[in-house]
């Protein structure tokens, strides 16, 4: 009842052939980034300007903080007298 049924004339298994591998890989063109001296100079100048602005802001903040501490000290002495 549950026995498998085999074909009367067995056929050989199919033979698979693989496609040949292409020895040369496909090369894709990557857009080139042309960097000239003007671009490098512009980036350097921009970096210097931004660094100078950051330094100016930091110096200003420190100066304001010192002035606030001095003013607070002077006002505290003045109110204490």
- Give the C-alpha separation, 45 to 51, whole Å: 10
Higher pLDDT, 48 or 80: 48
- Give the C-alpha separation, 50 to 44, whole Å: 10
25 CB burial (10 A radius; 0-12, 13-18, 19+): exposed
> Residue 72: pLDDT band by 50, 70, 90 thresholds?
very high
Is the pTM here over 0.75, yes or no?
A: no
pLDDT at 42: 93
Higher pLDDT, 32 or 67: 67
């Amino acid at each position: 009842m549950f026995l498998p049924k085999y074909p009367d004339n067995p056929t050989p298994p199919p033979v698979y052939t693989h496609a040949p591998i292409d020895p040369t890989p496909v090369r894709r063109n990557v857009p080139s980034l042309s960097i000239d001296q003007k671009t490098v100079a512009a980036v350097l100048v921009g970096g210097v300007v931004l660094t100078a602005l950051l330094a100016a802001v930091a110096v200003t903040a420190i100066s304001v903080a010192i002035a606030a501490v001095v003013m607070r000290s002077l006002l505290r002495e003045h109110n204490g007298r």
